[in-house]
Structure 1
Amino acid sequence: MDPTITTPSIDETPLSASPTDRRDSLEKHLQTRPDMQDLKDRHILLDTNVAPSLQAAHQELARQRTTDSLKKHLEHRPDREELVERNILPTTHAAPALQANARELEKHMLVDHLDHKIQSRPNPEDLISQGILTEDEDPRFPVV
């Protein structure tokens, strides 16, 4: 619990007490009551410069403005296909719980495919004999 927030104490002064006792009790409670900014911070009072008689209308207007803004933004929201084209959403149709595993599987399949391509690539002698590389371009002998 926040130590700066004080819980109000219950005035247990009997009603039959003398007027001075009651006045003293009231003064004691008025001295310990939270200030206006504290009440605004705790959302007990509205933090606004609007007259109290207009605060409800002001609050409703602000809520309506937020609703209208959300509706406008939702109408201009891109559809799923556009988000997939822009690489924001994945192209997979797997369930969300399986998407991480699907990405991992796709990554491993790509690594395996590249390893296979590297292992089956022709050696430099074959490329030179086919005229694809010249002897000056032989990767086994770096140019000095």
Structure 2
Amino acid sequence: MDSNVIDQTPLSASPTERRDSLEKLLQHRPDIQDLKERHILLDTNVAPSLQATREELARQRKADDLKKHLEHRPEREELVERNILPSSNAAPALQANARELEKHMLADHLDQKIQTRPAPDELISQGILTEDEDPRFPTV
């Protein structure tokens, strides 16, 4: 029988009809384990009169633990320094675009540096490279 069934037996019905209706519904009620799995009943050994107090104490303990951890959490500057948070002040929705732009700007900068680097002949004439280190003629 569906667990959402409501007893529609009229109050004017005879006591035996109401009792039979109630017995029929009680036969199909969910068992205790089902109610615990659905979080309707608490799965505990504590007396029902103490369950609310126990839950409140558990909730308070979690709140105290959270407060303690929040007090000890590192500052934003430390997280940026450790590369946990981005140094950008951009909105979170724009941070991915900002990182992509930064990456492209770095690639463009490196391309520009490569294009303006001195030729091997110039480095050899300045004494920075020896003729043995000339990258155009690999040694075998």
**TM-score, normalization: structure 2?**
0.88
**Aligned residues: CA RMSD:** 1.7
Aligned to 1:51: 47
SS of equivalent residue, structure 1 residue 141: coil
**How far apart are 1:16 and its partner, in Å?**
4.3
CA distance in 1: counterparts of 2:52 and 2:7, whole angstroms: 32
Aligned to 1:90: 86
Aligned to 1:112: 108
**TM-score, normalization: structure 1?**
0.86
1:19-53 Cα offsets, whole Å, 9 max, x none, are: 44333322221121111122122221112221111
Conservation of the 8 A alpha-carbon contact between 2:9 and 2:21: yes
Aligned to 2:75: 79
Conservation of the 8 A alpha-carbon contact between 2:36 and 2:42: yes
Question: How do residues 1-144 of structure 1 correspond to structure 2 at under 5 angstroms?
Answer: 6-144=2-140
Conservation of the 8 A alpha-carbon contact between 2:3 and 2:30: no
Q: Structure 2: 5+ residue runs without aligned partners?
A: none
Moved over 6 A (4+): none
User: Percent identity over the alignment?
Assistant: 81
Aligned to 1:3: none
